[in-house]
Amino acid sequence: MIEISNLSKRYGKQVVVDDLSLKISKGETFGFLGQNGAGKTTTIKMIVGLTRPDEGKITIGGKLVDDISARRKIGFMPEAPYFYERLTGMEFMKFCGDLFGENNRSESEYEDILKMTGIFDAKDKAIGKYSKGMKQRLGFAQTLVNDPDYIFLDEPLDGLDPLGRKEIKKIIKTLQGNGKTIFFNSHILYDTEELCDRIGIIHKGRLLYAGAVKEFCQGKPLEEKFVELVEMQQ
């Protein structure tokens, strides 16, 4: 379980995350939705330990996220990821995997992950030569190097063509089937509906809604209800 309690973050005078509290159960797929600049990325960065909150605390599987060992069981995909241009895809996977210890995975296991994310053919090409879509997939692939229980994805479908989005959604569904807990940010709403068990909606740092998708939508498309909610805040 992921437990977020009273999380707050300020950059200077600007409040970016405002007293956020959330509970995500094990095995759940949670979609964190909101406009650009609503505070989604800051939140996810605080969960994985990149940024320190000003107030509040976060635990993953009972461990505080400050504890480095909490990161053994998580995978994180940053938004619009940058890479080491001169490494190959496979070298990058091995590099990420090696950070978990000597014998994290075998080469064929990494190959399987690359196959699953559709970039196996480019595994020995320098990342600098990858297209945006390929980089996005590699970013996704490296979240799986340590077979994590908790997977955090920041805009995983961003920059992918329709076929790419379909493939990634398929992978997410497979991971769901394997009992992984998945937390992802998105500002693209129509894809989110079919993936999530529960959603959270954040606007200007404040949580407006957290709960089941169907309850929120009440028969209408998610996007429509979302826009309604946000416009109500203005």
Partner 1 sequence: MHNVLVIAKNTFKEAVRDRIFYAILGFAVLFILLDLFLARLALGDPVMIKSFGLAGIYIFGLIVTIFLGSSIIYKEIERRTLYFIISKPVTRAQVVLGKFLGLFMAVALTTVLMAVVYIGVVLHETSMFDFLGLVAVFFQLLEMGLIVAVLIFFSSITAPMTATLLAVIMVFIGHLLGSVLYSGEIIGGTTYKLSLAFYYLFPNLEKFDLRNLVVHGISITPHGALFAIAYAVLYSGILIWGAILLLNRREL
Residue numbers at the binding site for partner 1 (CB under 8 A): 11, 45, 48-51, 68-69, 71-72, 74, 76, 78, 81-84, 86-87, 91, 95-96, 98-102, 142, 146, 152
Nearer to partner 1, 45 or 165 (CB): 45
CA distance 19 to 126: 43
Within the chain, where are the H helices?
Answer: 40-48, 89-98, 107-116, 132-142, 162-177, 192-195, 213-217, 222-233
SS3 200: strand
Nearer to partner 1, 81 or 159 (CB): 81
Nearer to partner 1, 139 or 164 (CB): 139
In the bound complex, what is the minimum distance in angstroms from residue 18's beta carbon to partner 1? 18
CA distance 126 to 128: 5
Give the gyration radius of the chain's Cα atoms.
18
Please give the structure tokens belonging to residue 110: 């990494």
In the bound complex, what is the minimum distance in angstroms from residue 84's beta carbon to partner 1? 5
Nearer to partner 1, 85 or 161 (CB): 85
Please give the single-letter amino acid code of residue 123: K
Please give the single-letter amino acid code of residue 80: A
In the bound complex, what is the minimum distance in angstroms from residue 216's beta carbon to partner 1? 29
In the bound complex, what is the minimum distance in angstroms from residue 99's beta carbon to partner 1? 5
In the bound complex, what is the minimum distance in angstroms from residue 57's beta carbon to partner 1? 18
CA distance 90 to 100: 16
Nearer to partner 1, 98 or 124 (CB): 98
